[in-house]
Amino acid sequence: MPEQVSAQHDEAAAVAVEVFPPDLHDTHHLWLKASLLTVWVVVTFGGAYFARVLQKGGGQWGYWMAAQGSVLVFLAIVVFYSWAMARFERRDAQATDPGPPPLEDGADDTAL
């Protein structure tokens, strides 16, 4: 049983390596993750740390960021991350896709 699981894992890993070149995909993925985590840290901890400074403008900006703004920014980050990763994966798949196989002699492509 463990041999079968190992064989399936090896096949899945081989397919994943063929579909996405690890160097380019991982580089884009890591840069995206690092930049979005930086935005998250700045908004979440920066808003809480500078809440008193943000209050001096006459508004409730510090309270709003602590109560609701950070959550909305986090949701925006999640949506942007999913959109960007889908775009990266689609672009990588198109770059490695050889296209449809050539038709054999006498084959009719309108039969589909």
**What does pTM read for this prediction?**
0.58
Domain annotation covers residue 8: no
Higher pLDDT, 11 or 81: 81
Domain annotation covers residue 64: yes
Indicate the DSSP class of residue 58.
S
pLDDT digits (tens, 9 = 90+) for 14-29: 555 555 555 666 777 8
Instruction: List phi, psi (to 5°) of 27.
Output: -65, -50
pLDDT digits (tens, 9 = 90+) for 67-87: 788 888 899 999 999 999 888
Domain annotation covers residue 107: no
Amino acid in position 103: L
pLDDT digits (tens, 9 = 90+) for 26-68: 777 888 999 999 999 888 888 777 777 777 766 677 677 777 8
Domain annotation covers residue 109: no
Residue 35 structural domain: 24-95
Side-chain half-sphere exposure of 88, counting CA atoms within 13 A: 20
Report the sign of the C-alpha dihedral through residues 41, 43, 44, 49, in that order: positive
Place of tokens 């908004």: 43
Q: How many domains does the chain have?
A: 1
